[in-house]
Amino acid sequence: MRRTTIRPVAEGDLAALTAIYNRYIAETPITFDIEPYAVEARRPWLAQFDEHGPHRCLVAQEGDAMLGWAASMGFRSKAAYRTSVETSIYLAHGATGRGLGALLYRALFEALEGEDLNRAYAGVTLPNAASIALHERFGFERLGVYSEVGHKFGRYWDVLWLEKPLR
């Protein structure tokens, strides 16, 4: 049995992470991006992360297989939002249902301890019972639903917003 490694994202992970994300774009409403990315087009996304500070990305890997990632990103661009982050988690096809989401979120929130952060937010496209359960397991509370906020695959989708205190 291979051991799962959780570590900070590295430049060499970009192609694998882009492939994971592109599957969600093409096959699910979980992200509202509608066109898959070329690897180079995802480089600005990768550049926002650091091994220190509030914006982190951690990856899960077994051997050479990239299994997914969890990230904390800027919530909004205005300066007063600097103590808030939006979190996101994506797992490779076939890697769900193994507890990897919990492993990644646990590591992410441990890494963020001590940072000058007040709140984490997450948006979950509905329906998605597994993602809601994961977020609630980590202390996120439901704030409300943006009704029919996204249009993809010929229909409108609702997004549940959740909040987690970080202090």
Cα(121)–Cα(61) distance, integer angstroms? 25
Cα(130)–Cα(59) distance, integer angstroms? 19
pLDDT at 1 over 80: no
* Res 97: pLDDT: 87
Q: Give pLDDT tens digits for 3-62.
A: 999 999 999 999 999 999 999 999 999 999 999 999 999 999 999 999 999 999 999 999
Cα(109)–Cα(25) distance, integer angstroms? 26
Cα(34)–Cα(121) distance, integer angstroms? 22
**Which H or E run includes 70?**
strand 65-74
Q: Give pLDDT tens digits for 138-163.
A: 999 999 999 999 999 999 999 999 99
pTM of structure: 0.94
For all residues of the chain together, what is the average pLDDT? 96
Tokens standing for 55? 């914006």
Domain segments of the chain as ranges: 4-117
The CATH code belonging to domain 4-117 is 3.40.630.30
DSSP 8-state class, residue 38? P
